[in-house]
Amino acid sequence: MFDKKTYISRRKRLAESVSEGVILILGNSEASCNYRDNTYLFRQDSSFLYFFGLDKPDLAAVIDVESGEEIIFGNDVDIDDIIWMGPQPLITEQAASVGVVKSAPFAALATYLAEAHAKRRKIHFLPPYRNYNKILLHKMLGVGFDNMKDAASVELIKAVVALREIKEESEIAEIERACDLGYDMHMAAMKAMKLGMVEQELVGIMEGICASGGIMPSFPIILSQNGETLHNHSHHQILTEGRLCVIDAGAEIDTHYASDFTRTLPCSGKFTQQQAEIYSLVAAANNYAIGVSRPGISYTDVHLGAVTVLVQGLIDLGLVNGNAEEAVALQPA
């Protein structure tokens, strides 16, 4: 969690970016795995983390655009929870830690929104992706389950994207920390890789590195000798001579910033000549893109430039005929 001034500033800028009404930011709830009290690893909503910083389940928050009032809704733990978890900070204390003065029980959120709705105030919310929050929005705002995406506030979406797409120095430091851990994961797999291993063994090594230094992989690890299937999560094959293994993986650290790297490695530890030529070509395109990327240049220009490097390389290898620039110019915009 960052300093509370960071969250105060973010919320202020968010409120200034929305014309009127009430901004509703829903946190996530825990999800049961195989019975109610055995839950999956909790993951807070990223936008809730960005603006309110609290990494606890069953929270929601509102920002009144006109008055500037901010409220965090959540329940204090009861004795049954304390027996298992020990004493926990009160909601008032959690709210104060991120610069929010007012808090209320979670049940009060429905009343707050009903009053705002009765006054014909616009209630802005982001597109929900968890079923629990879809049910909440249906109960509290009467939004149909088939209409959640269309009912979400485009104005709020644009405001959130505009803030979150430009990273603060403190965020960059966290991203670099996540990248360091992602590097360790890939290096561990590279060093351990040998013919005869099952792909899952490498996945387990990477997940162990991630868990020891962060909290979980950024997403289910993709590690496969069938890299043509872009999101192949099957890890049952044995590493075989002459084949390549694609690894797409990264780490999510305790502050929930994440890394994502993709690398292709020879299962035997050494590329064939043809594999090395193609690998070098892809690396050249990647290095080109990194080299030209800067503020003010468009994504399309970077993309087309990298594609030109790839096509020219394929021509040089005798795999493609023609002129690289003319071929790329024919690509749909």
pLDDT, one tens digit per residue, over 105-144 is: 999 999 999 999 999 999 999 999 999 999 999 999 999 9
Global pTM? 0.90
Going by CATH, does the domain composed of 168-258 fall within 3.90.230.10? yes
In angstroms, what CA-CA distances link 136 with 24, 42, 44, 106, 153? 12, 18, 16, 11, 16
Q: Is the pLDDT of residue 331 over 80?
A: no
**Predicted confidence band at 77 (pLDDT cuts at 50, 70, 90)?**
confident
Work out whether strand 60-64 and strand 70-73 pair parallel, antiparallel, or are unpaired.
antiparallel
Q: Is the pLDDT of residue 333 over 70?
A: no
Rounded to an integer, the average pLDDT of 15-31 is: 97
Q: Is the pLDDT of residue 62 over 80?
A: yes
In angstroms, what CA-CA distances link 223 with 245, 261, 262? 7, 12, 10
Rounded to an integer, the average pLDDT of 201-219 is: 94
pLDDT of residue 37: 84
**Predicted confidence band at 83 (pLDDT cuts at 50, 70, 90)?**
confident
**Predicted confidence band at 332 (pLDDT cuts at 50, 70, 90)?**
confident
- pLDDT top residue among 36 and 85: 36
Q: Where are the domains of the chain?
A: 4-164, 168-258, 271-333
Rounded to an integer, the average pLDDT of 240-252 is: 97
Specify the CATH architecture of the domain 4-164. 3-Layer(aba) Sandwich (3.40)
pLDDT of residue 246: 96
